[in-house]
């Protein structure tokens, strides 16, 4: 069957039009949208094979998330709602790069090697963000799926986490929730309102916030939440799709530039939230009485959430292992706080939620967040059962029962499949409400070290290789040694460099004790990268 099965896959409309190599990077393929059609077509083909291999529905999301409008991309979602398995990332890369003349034989090879039963039906659940290039890329992906007779569920415009949610609901026959967008909104909104209904709040919490939706697909979801949560959470929407996607707005811009997005009014001490172009990242921020910008990033959210879970576990008397996963970008101030104050085990892994997710699975309750606001909480099946059973235990004291029910309900508020900006936002709002905190109280838990991120353009970013969760640079030789010498000059200094997996640049991260020195440290390291790794364009400088 195999060779004939793939007979009709070569389609001249989607022939390979690019000589450059494509890589399944940090979060799928991502590059300029006008060279992506053949890649989408091929990923449509691959999604069908993956679905057959797993005998389950597979997700395909068309988005370039935080990147600007000219880019686009694609990520595949595995049956349990997690990112595509690492070994298939390699298969995807090979398939994207094969010559048209070898496409048929490569598909046959994949199906033999992976022992795929081609008679099994395939289902691909597909979604896209609001980029102008998304419909044409959707057409290419659909052509690939149809070429191998796969079934399609087209969700239309959705956030990345909504697609992950529908995939897991579909594959669990609704046990995780109703596999529709309405099911998604209703599940999260119902539990949010129900938790809130159990609390009389006397603290500083005010139920109004300003949301910067990056002019992306998250604005659509945010509007739905405005409707579902009317009278409970007052969401004022900015950058709602009428402006340029991710341009001077959105979670990535706020995190890297540490400044207000376009259009948001800077009302003093008002809680502001920013999500990215496909709504899988979230950060908080506010302006103080002296007009100073304050960022509460993924590290802050992780520590808030971990501290809350720790408190609920202790109060309810339930013994489960809680752990937190970060990347090298985590601020040193947060890591100290987690280890020394919260006393929660903390692990560091390479960038990419796929790495954090995998590590977090080692804990009963794993909280994982990248500093850029991408993260969630995941529970082992046994931990979920224990939480449910504990809440039913009639021997508990009133205080234990309240904490135990809250623990059970909060788990339902979380989109465990992947970082979900809006579900994370509802979780943060729930915790702040429970504590009676405003954003200033929240920020008091610990102090961030001043930090700075820069981008350096080089001829080939892949000449930079790293180890030790990207904290140590292996090549070009001498680069790490030189970074170490620079860092030594700064009190509590730390810096690392790594090639981005989503943009054609090298990222430089720097932190140190003094806010007046941190720019200097970042620029010194950036210019080292420029000189030792083949920089192009102007050399980074302090001006």
Question: In this structure, what token pair is assigned to residue 415?
Answer: 């989109």
Residue 493 found at the interface with ligand G16 (CB under 6 A): no
> What minimum distance in Å lies between the beta carbon of 81 and ligand G16?
14
Residue 71 found at the interface with ligand G16 (CB under 6 A): no
Name residue, tokens 């659940």. Answer: 125
Q: Which residues inside 456-475 make contact with ligand G16, applying CB under 6 A? A: none
Name residue, tokens 């029910």. Answer: 405
> What minimum distance in Å lies between the beta carbon of 246 and ligand G16?
9
Residue 517 found at the interface with ligand G16 (CB under 6 A): no
Q: Tell whether 371 is in a known binding site.
A: yes
Residue 530, judged by CB atoms within 10 A of its CB (0-12, 13-18, 19+), counts as buried
Question: Do 271 and 209 form a contact (C-beta atoms < 8 A)?
Answer: yes
Q: Can you tell me which of 69, 424, 503, 517 binds ligand G16, judged by CB under 6 A?
A: 503
Residue with Cβ nearer ligand G16 (299 or 370): 370
Residue 129 found at the interface with ligand G16 (CB under 6 A): no
Q: Can you tell me which of 66, 131, 433, 435 binds ligand G16, judged by CB under 6 A?
A: 66
> What minimum distance in Å lies between the beta carbon of 265 and ligand G16?
26
Q: Which residues inside 8-27 make contact with ligand G16, applying CB under 6 A? A: 26-27
Residue with Cβ nearer ligand G16 (69 or 517): 69
Q: Tell whether 507 is in a known binding site.
A: yes
Q: H helices within 414-506, ranges in order?
A: 421-435, 439-443, 479-487
Q: What angle do CA 21, 159, 409 make, to 5 degrees?
A: 130
At residue 59, what are phi and psi to the nearest 5 degrees? -105, 150
Q: Which helix (H) or strand (E) holds 385?
A: helix 381-392
Q: Tell whether 336 is in a known binding site.
A: no
Q: How many residues bind ligand G16 (CB under 6 A)?
A: 18
Q: Can you tell me which of 240, 276, 416, 524 binds ligand G16, judged by CB under 6 A?
A: 276
Q: H helices within 98-180, ranges in order?
A: 103-113, 134-147, 160-171
Residue with Cβ nearer ligand G16 (74 or 148): 74
CA dist., res. 364 & res. 319, Å (int):
10
> What minimum distance in Å lies between the beta carbon of 76 and ligand G16?
13
Q: Tell whether 280 is in a known binding site.
A: yes
> What minimum distance in Å lies between the beta carbon of 236 and ligand G16?
23
Q: Which residues pair with 431 in a beta bridge?
A: none
Q: Which one of the spans 46-54, 357-365, 466-474, 496-504 is the region binding ligand G16 (CB under 6 A)?
A: 496-504
Name residue, tokens 């990222």. Answer: 507
Whole-number Cα distances in Å, 84 to 142, 216, 242: 19, 24, 33
Question: In this structure, what token pair is assigned to residue 244?
Answer: 């340029």
Binding mask 348-387 for ligand G16 (x = CB under 6 A): ---xxx----------------x-x-x-------------
For the four alpha carbons of 65, 67, 69 and 75, in that order, the dihedral sign comes to negative
At residue 168, what are phi and psi to the nearest 5 degrees? -70, -35
Active site residues: 65
Residue 541, judged by CB atoms within 10 A of its CB (0-12, 13-18, 19+), counts as exposed
Q: Tell whether 276 is in a known binding site.
A: yes
Q: Which one of the spans 236-244, 275-283, 292-300, 382-390 is the region binding ligand G16 (CB under 6 A)?
A: 275-283
Q: Can you tell me which of 54, 274, 507, 510 binds ligand G16, judged by CB under 6 A?
A: 507
Q: Tell whether 179 is in a known binding site.
A: no
Q: Tell whether 70 is in a known binding site.
A: no
Q: Which residues pair with 451 in a beta bridge?
A: 511
CA dist., res. 428 & res. 399, Å (int):
22
The three-class DSSP label of residue 459 is coil
Q: Tell whether 194 is in a known binding site.
A: no
Binding residues for ligand G16, rule: CB under 6 A, are 26-27, 65-66, 276, 280-281, 351-353, 370, 372, 374, 500-503, 507
Residue list, annotated binding site for Mg(2+): 65, 276, 278, 280
Sequence ranges of the binding site: 65, 276, 278, 280, 370-372, 498-502, 507
């Amino acid at each position: 069957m195999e060779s004939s099965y793939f007979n009709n896959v070569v389609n001249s409309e989607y022939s390979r039009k690019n000589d450059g190599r494509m890589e399944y990077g940090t979060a799928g393929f991502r590059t300029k949208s006008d060279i992506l059609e053949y890649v989408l077509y091929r990923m449509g083909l691959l999604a069908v094979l993956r679905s057959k291999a797993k005998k389950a529905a597979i997700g395909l999301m068309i988005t370039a998330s935080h990147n600007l409008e000219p880019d686009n991309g694609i990520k595949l979602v595995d049956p349990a709602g997690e990112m595509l398995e690492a070994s298939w990332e390699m298969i995807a890369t090979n398939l994207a790069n094969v010559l048209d003349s070898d496409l048929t034989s490569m598909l046959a090879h994949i199906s033999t090697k992976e022992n795929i039963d081609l008679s099994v039906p395939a289902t691909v659940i597909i979604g896209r963000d609001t980029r102008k290039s998304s419909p044409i890329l959707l057409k290419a992906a659909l052509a690939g799926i149809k070429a191998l007779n796969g079934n399609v569920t087209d969700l239309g415009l959705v956030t990345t986490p909504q697609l992950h949610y529908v995939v897991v609901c579909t594959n669990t026959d609704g046990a995780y929730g109703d596999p529709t967008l309405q099911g998604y909104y209703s599940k999260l909104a119902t539990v949010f309102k129900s938790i809130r209904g159990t609390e009389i709040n006397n603290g500083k919490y005010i139920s109004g916030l300003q949301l910067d939706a990056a002019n992306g697909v998250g604005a659509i979801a945010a509007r739905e939440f405005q409707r579902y949560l009317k009278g409970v959470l007052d969401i004022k929407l900015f950058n709602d799709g009428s402006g340029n996607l991710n341009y001077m707005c959105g979670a990535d811009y706020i995190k890297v530039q540490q400044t207000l997005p376009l259009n948001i009014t800077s009302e003093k001490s008002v809680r502001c939230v920013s999500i990215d172009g496909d709504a899988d990242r979230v950060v908080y921020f506010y302006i103080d009485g002296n007009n100073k910008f304050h960022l509460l990033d993924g590290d802050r959210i992780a520590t808030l959430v971990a501290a809350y879970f720790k408190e609920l576990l202790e109060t309810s008397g339930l013994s489960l292992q809680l752990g937190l996963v970060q990347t090298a970008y985590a601020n040193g101030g947060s890591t100290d706080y987690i280890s020394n104050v919260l006393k929660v085990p903390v692990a560091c892994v390479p960038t990419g939620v796929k790495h954090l997710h995998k590590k977090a699975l080692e804990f009963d309750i794993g909280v994982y967040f990248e500093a850029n606001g991408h993260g969630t909480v995941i529970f082992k099946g046994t931990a979920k059962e224990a939480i449910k059973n504990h809440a039913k235990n009639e021997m508990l004291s009133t205080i234990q029962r309240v904490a135990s029910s809250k623990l059970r309900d909060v788990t339902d508020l979380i989109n465990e499949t992947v970082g979900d900006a809006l579900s994370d936002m509802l979780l943060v709002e729930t915790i702040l409400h429970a504590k009676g905190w405003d954003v200033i109280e929240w920020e008091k838990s610990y102090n961030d070290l001043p930090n700075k991120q820069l981008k350096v353009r080089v001829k080939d970013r892949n000449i930079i290789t790293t180890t030790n969760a990207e904290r140590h640079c292996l090549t070009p030789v001498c680069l790490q040694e030189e970074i170490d010498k620079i860092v030594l000059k700064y009190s509590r200094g730390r810096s690392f460099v790594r090639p981005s997996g989503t943009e054609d640049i090298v990222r430089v991260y720097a932190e140190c004790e003094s806010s007046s020195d941190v720019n200097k440290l970042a620029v010194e390291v950036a210019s080292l990268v420029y000189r030792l790794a083949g920089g192009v364009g102007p050399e980074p400088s302090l001006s």
